[in-house]
């Protein structure tokens, strides 16, 4: 089982990577989802826009794009692309720290790979609850 963090042409201040990797493994286990490989790529708005256009046919900026790469729905092999630009902008918009917003998006992608969706109001509300639950577990509280 491997979890990787890569920065593509951006700087990202991700502290305590070992703690985060352990926490993510526990998140998957707690949601009843197997985990084989997970690769987070931190990138720019422009880079993620191109991925969004090419693979999802969406011509919009987004903070995250998640891909399930494996064949077995019980075992996650995924790639998660996160726009550092969008995370910073959203942190300001929602008046939270960049660190908290970055972790919210990291957990958001993991939750997608565990089967959670956010297309409807009900799904979005549940996703937000789960994000908050994991942020509180990780940090001890919401900032």
Q: Where are the domains of the chain?
A: 2-139
pLDDT for position 138: 97
Distance of CA 11 to CAs 41, 47, 53, 62, 125, Å?
11, 14, 23, 18, 31
What's the pLDDT tens digit per position in 41-84?
999 999 999 999 999 999 999 999 999 999 999 999 999 999 99
Which numeric CATH code is attached to 2-139?
3.40.390.30
């Amino acid at each position: 089982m491997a979890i990787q963090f890569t920065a593509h042409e951006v700087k990202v201040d991700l502290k305590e990577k070992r703690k985060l990797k352990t926490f993510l493994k526990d998140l998957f286990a707690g949601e009843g989802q197997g985990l084989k490989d997970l690769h987070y790529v931190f990138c720019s708005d422009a880079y993620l826009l191109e991925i969004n256009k090419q693979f999802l046919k969406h011509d919009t900026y987004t903070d995250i794009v998640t891909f399930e790469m494996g064949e077995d729905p019980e075992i996650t092999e995924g790639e998660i692309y996160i726009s550092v630009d969008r995370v910073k902008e959203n942190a300001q918009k929602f008046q939270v720290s960049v660190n908290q917003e970055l972790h919210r998006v990291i957990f958001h992608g993991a939750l997608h790979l565990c089967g959670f969706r956010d297309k409807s109001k009900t799904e979005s509300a549940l996703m937000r609850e789960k994000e908050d639950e994991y942020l509180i577990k990780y940090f001890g509280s919401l900032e």
